[in-house]
Amino acid sequence: MKKLFLVLLILVYVLPLQCFAEEMFSTKYFTFYGEQTQEQVVEKLGMEPDKLYTKVMDMLNLHIYNLNVEIIMFNNQEELSQKAQLLTGEEFRERSFYLHSAGTIYISYPDMTAGILAHEMTHALLCSYFVNRPSIEMQEILCGYVEYKIKNMILPEPFNF
């Protein structure tokens, strides 16, 4: 049992850092791992990641100013799926996910949008804010709401619907 625990600990905490240790940048709330620069991420999101997180906190009126989450950006959805399967043992087809036990958001960089990242930031916020975490169904309702609001806030006027 101890060996299994150690293997899982290494897979969840150590390997992600070793895989991306060379390429990273940090903000107040997040540490990013991947091949992308901070400028590329800001351009893709349309704003600084910390500003996006502040919008998430304000939308939900839940504020955690000492949040520290790692964000691992994968080159494609296939790499992300392989990592998810390694971590969970289940098939995975999504573009991103948050793993609270690792304090990490895993995301496919080509698929990353401000809405998708805000969705995962909301998971991190909810799981960190409440002692008894909300059910996954409740989390998805709130995360979907935030993703929708961010998507509509950032799109040019003719695309808001």
Provide the residue ranges of all domains of the chain, joining segments of one domain with +: 14-152
Tens digits of per-residue pLDDT, 58-97? 999 999 999 999 999 999 999 999 999 998 888 888 999 9
pTM listed for this prediction:
0.82
Q: What is the largest CA-CA distance in the chain?
A: 57
Give the pLDDT band of residue 29 (cuts 50, 70, 90).
Answer: very high
Alpha helices for the chain (secondary structure H) = 2-9, 15-20, 38-45, 49-60, 77-88, 114-129, 136-154
Of 18, 15, 42, 43, nearest in space to 30 by CA: 42
Q: From 3.40.30, 3.90.320, 1.20.120, 2.30.30, which CATH number describes the 14-152 domain?
A: 3.40.30
Tens digits of per-residue pLDDT, 87-145? 888 888 899 999 999 999 999 999 999 999 999 999 999 999 999 999 999 999 999 99
Report the C-alpha gap between 112 and 107 in whole angstroms: 7
